[in-house]
């Protein structure tokens, strides 16, 4: 079963927190985000390093330092955040030829279903932005595609 790990879920929460805080226009200290999100600093540092590597966030050093988004919230989609944190978002490992080449891929009668599912997952996650999530109101389903 495909699962989003805590790295992916926390990365999304961190990005959403930064998006909400960025409206103030100043970088946000990691410890503030950690307190609000109830995530340990050590674990957040490993996640934020992945977000920095993919240039989803920037860091500012010094007394007023912290982390900030590199773009506007509406310019980020959930797919790119999750892939920065998780790696690929493929439903089965055999679709990633670089990591786990499948000798049956050319003759597999089920590969198309997994490719199709991967496409649906990607399209859905790309359709949801940080701004979309920020607009979400008390339990309203902002992300319904059906």
Q: How far apart are CA 23 and CA 19, in angstroms?
A: 7
Mean pLDDT in residue range 111-124: 92
DSSP 60: E
Residues 74, 135: Cα–Cα separation, whole Å: 11
Of the pLDDT bands very low, low, confident and very high (cuts 50, 70, 90), residue 57 is very high
- Using left for φ > 0, alpha for ψ between -120 and 50, and beta otherwise, residue 25 falls in left
Give me 128's structure tokens.
């949801």
pLDDT at residue 97 is higher than 50: yes
3-class state of residue 6 by DSSP? helix
DSSP per position, 91-137? SSGGG-TTTS--TTTTT-SSHHHHHHHHHHHHHHHHH-BHHHHHH--
Check pLDDT > 50 for residue 144. Answer: yes
More confident residue, 137 or 9: 9
- According to the model, what pLDDT value does residue 23 have? 66
pLDDT tens for residues 60-75?
988 888 999 999 999 9
- Express each pLDDT in 31-56 by its tens digit: 999 999 999 999 999 999 999 999 99
Question: Average pLDDT, stretch 82-108?
Answer: 82
- Give me the domains of the chain, ranges plus CATH numbers: 6-135 (1.10.10.10)
DSSP 77: B
Q: How confident is the model at residue 3 (pLDDT cuts 50, 70, 90)?
A: confident
Query: pLDDT tens across 8-26, in order?
Result: 999 999 999 999 987 666 8
The residues that bridge with 57 in the sheet, in sequence order, are 69
What's the pTM?
A: 0.87
97 within 8 A of 105, measured Cβ to Cβ: yes
């Amino acid at each position: 079963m495909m699962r989003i790990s805590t790295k992916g879920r926390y990365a999304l929460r961190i990005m959403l927190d930064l998006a909400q805080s960025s409206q103030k226009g100043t970088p946000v200290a990691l410890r503030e985000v950690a307190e609000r999100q109830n995530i340990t600093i050590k674990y957040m540092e490993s996640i934020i390093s992945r977000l920095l590597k993919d240039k989803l966030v920037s860091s500012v050093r010094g007394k007023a330092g912290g982390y900030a988004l590199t773009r506007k919230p509406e310019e980020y989609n959930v797919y790119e955040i999750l892939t920065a944190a998780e790696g690929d978002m493929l439903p089965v490992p055999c679709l990633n030829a670089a990591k786990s080449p499948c000798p049956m891929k050319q003759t597999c009668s089920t590969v198309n279903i997994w490719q199709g599912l991967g496409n649906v997952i990607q399209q859905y996650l790309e359709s949801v932005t940080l701004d979309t999530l920020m607009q979400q109101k008390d339990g309203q389903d902002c992300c319904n595609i059906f």
